Amino acid sequence: MTTIWALLTSAMRAVAVVYSVALVAGCQVDPGHGGRASREWIEQLRRGDAKGREDAAVALGNVLAVNPKLERPVTALVAALADTIDAVRVAASSALAQPGVIAIDALPGLAQMLNDSAHASVRAQGVRAIGRLLSMSALAERSKLLGSVVPAHRDGDAAVRAAVADALGRITSSATTDTIVKQTLETLVRDSMASTRLRAVEALGSLPAMARREALHTALNDSSAAVRHAAVLQVRRDTLALAEMQAQLVNLLADSSAPVRLAVVRALGSLSMARYPNVSTALRARLTDADSTIRTEASHALTRFHAQGGRDPSHEPTLLERCKQLPPRTRGC
């Protein structure tokens, strides 16, 4: 019996070794692209003309999309970040920013792209690539990445500043990054361009609830309806902020934008009438709103408001109730 057990143990160890070797080898399997192996594209990336190098960077990006663990394409693309042609640098950074690609060595090259004063598109792409690295990075690497991307929030090009907001929105909140991210997003929420302010408000979700309150107060009074709408959606996700800012939300029930009014009706409908009787009056005023959807939502909100624990007697669910019945990623509302 002992001999049989020893043989079985040896066999299992041999299988484990073979599996491990196969797994490591599998990580370096080259899928190629367009009928050519990665080594051919790497050679073209090093020695081809400008268009050929750009095509090679795109091809290697397709290779990494299939097998992001390949080391040689990553090394070649990192080197290509120093290319003299901006299209090559953009293609290389896009390839390196894909999910699963381990490209922390790309940071110096990406940081150099942020210093390209002649091409705003190159700077914006560099910020986007660093943002993707931020979303995948360990906490120890985050300070370096932030140190590269945060200064770009004062860039003269709105697309670059918007890319910074997107990058910061990818961060999982932590005590070591909260302060710098908070300060940067608060600055971007006051940006001169509405598109940048919108991205900044959407990125506030990366901050802890308390850290984003001041920026949301500002965004609720923004001159852009899209920014105000995004701010209401952020407030609705935060119970304490909803209670704290209900007076601002009540004022927004008279907003000129129907999507803003609808978002506010949905948000206020979840408050307690016992604590906020003024909300009931404000919602009742929306029963005559010019928008039929808002009238319906206000009616349902008031029903819930006065139900005192009972169920909505209507057989027709509200848009918000229908939304809650859908899977989270398909709600879209």
Q: What is the 3-state secondary structure (H, E, C) of 269-332?
A: CCCCCCCCHHHHHHHHHHHHCCCHHHHHHHHHHHHHHHCCCCCCCCCCCCHHHHHHCCCHHHCC
Lowest model confidence (mean pLDDT) among 199-213, 240-254, 310-324: 310-324
Q: Is the model's pLDDT at 9 over the cut of 70?
A: no
- Mean pLDDT, residues 75-90 taken together: 93
Residues whose CB is less than 8 angstroms from the CB of residue 99 and which lie 6 or more positions away in sequence, other chains included:
68, 132, 136
pLDDT at 157: 95
Q: Is the model's pLDDT at 316 over the cut of 70?
A: no
Summarised one tens digit per residue, pLDDT across range 18-37 is: 344 333 344 568 888 888 99
- What span, in angstroms and rounded, lies between the C-alpha atoms of 129 and 149? 10
- What span, in angstroms and rounded, lies between the C-alpha atoms of 24 and 40? 23
Q: Is the model's pLDDT at 82 over the cut of 60?
A: yes
Question: What are the counts of helices (DSSP H) followed by strands (DSSP E) for the chain?
Answer: 19, 0
Q: Is the dihedral angle over the CA atoms 3, 9, 12, 13 positive or is it negative?
A: negative
pLDDT at 309: 44
- Report residue 123's pLDDT band, with 50, 70 and 90 as the boundaries: very high
Lowest model confidence (mean pLDDT) among 162-171, 186-195, 315-324: 315-324
Q: Is the model's pLDDT at 332 over the cut of 50?
A: yes
Q: Is the model's pLDDT at 221 over the cut of 90?
A: yes
- Mean pLDDT, residues 235-239 taken together: 87
Question: What average pLDDT does the structure give for the chain?
Answer: 83
